[in-house]
Amino acid sequence: MTEVGIDAIEIRTGKLKLDLPGTFAPAQGEDPGKYTKGLGLNASSFPDTYEDIVTMGANAAHRLMEREGLEPEDIGRIDVATESSFDNSKPVSTYIAGCLEQVYDGKFSHANKGERKFACVAGTQSIDDAYNWIKAGRHRGRSALVIATDTALYARNDPGEATQGAGAVAMLISEDPDLASLSTEQGYGSADETDFLKPNQQFPAVDGKRSVKVYLARMREALQDFESVADRTHPDDFAYIPFHTPFPGMVRKAALFGYRHMIRDTSIEDELAEQIGRQPREEAFDEEEAYEEALTEYMDGLKETAAYREWYDRVIEPTLTIAREVGNWYTGSVHLARVSALKTAAEEGRELAGERLLVGSYGSGAQAEMHAETVQESWREKIEGMTLDEQLEERYDLSYEEYERVHDVHNHAIEIDGEIEELTAPDAEFVFDGWGRMGERKYRFAE
């Protein structure tokens, strides 16, 4: 059976950097440790005044196509996942295709284009759509271009402001992929929730405590559903487990719950029982409150064990290194986590071909999805060809006053007086170029 999966990947980060402990925390009058230790973040990526979800998505896609030697005729489908769209009718994929057609001789007139919305899980759903399109034999030998692009901005003085981020992840979905093949088995956890939403507004309304609970509940359901169609999972089954990462502190919670689930009724639980006892079983308690208290006590003990800490450092921590420096990218976050893990493995000289990843995607509203991926022989070449390190190093370091100004530029509700100052110079990239006759956004390629 022909494998289908991720053939190549490229990332485009916003060109500005907000230092959270050094710049944001002092301006807020807060302890820098709230960000570095609590949230697990060092910095946020931010878009310059000429950047937005189209330019970042188009620049990531352009870089990917150039690396892979692709022309428009090689692409049969362009799907964009975003929760930062500025048009309720015209999809972002058409804008991105229009940008790319400025630098290629061919057109994408033959390509199916669409836009996916389900909060942060939409990027994974777009990959699923491309996978199914290829498996159904409707691709005519062509590949799909999946782009997850977002400006994850919050209103000023909102508690979520420190988790902001901006960037795009472009992925080529093909037969016989060089990076990772996708499993046929998937697991879902879904419910009608109001943990995070944008009802006709740019910035999200968030119930922070509820959002964490919903995230964990849906992830647990998705893992259980995945196991119902695949094998029972075990901590040693996967080289890495990339989770959707709104901030690394949230993944710490998910990882602990996942590990507890995977060791249940295994020799690992038996061995740990001498230190912290066995896991509480709900059926052994008459009252839910007593069960929850016992479970909390067990989890507190579990996270301090050497077995868990070794597993976390090996399987989870490498997935978080990029997120710590760029913040939340919404639809792109779990795909950053995958790249982060593979990038760490490449830097450490680890051999991963044939190893498996367990990918946990999540979108508020709410739905989680679990699926497995198998790393392919050419994975290292694909990862080492990326330019992420250079992009991160070259970001412009914002002062707090500059951050306020740029945030206002990207706030759709604010009209900016006077000239909009650019903090970086465009360099062979797509840029926002003003407004058209019908209020549409216009773009050009700046040499």
For the annotated catalytic residues, the residue numbers are: 83, 120, 244
Distance in angstroms (rounded) separating the CA atoms of residues 264 and 270: 9
Distance in angstroms (rounded) separating the CA atoms of residues 335 and 149: 11
Ordered DSSP codes for 353-378? TT-EEEEEEEETTTEEEEEEEEE-TT
343 and 271 in contact (C-beta within 8 Å)?
no
114 and 91 in contact (C-beta within 8 Å)?
yes
- Longest Cα pair distance anywhere in the chain, in angstroms? 72
List phi, psi (to 5°) of 179. -105, -60
Q: What are the tokens at 175?
A: 């037969």
List phi, psi (to 5°) of 379. -55, -40
User: 75 exposed, middle or buried (CB, 10 Å; 0-12, 13-18, 19+)?
Assistant: buried
DSSP 8-state secondary structure symbol assigned to residue 80: E
Q: Is 418 left (phi over 0), alpha (psi -120 to 50) or beta?
A: left
- Number of neighbouring beta carbons within 10 Å of residue 95: 26
DSSP 8-state secondary structure symbol assigned to residue 118: B
379 and 5 in contact (C-beta within 8 Å)?
no
List phi, psi (to 5°) of 58. -65, -40
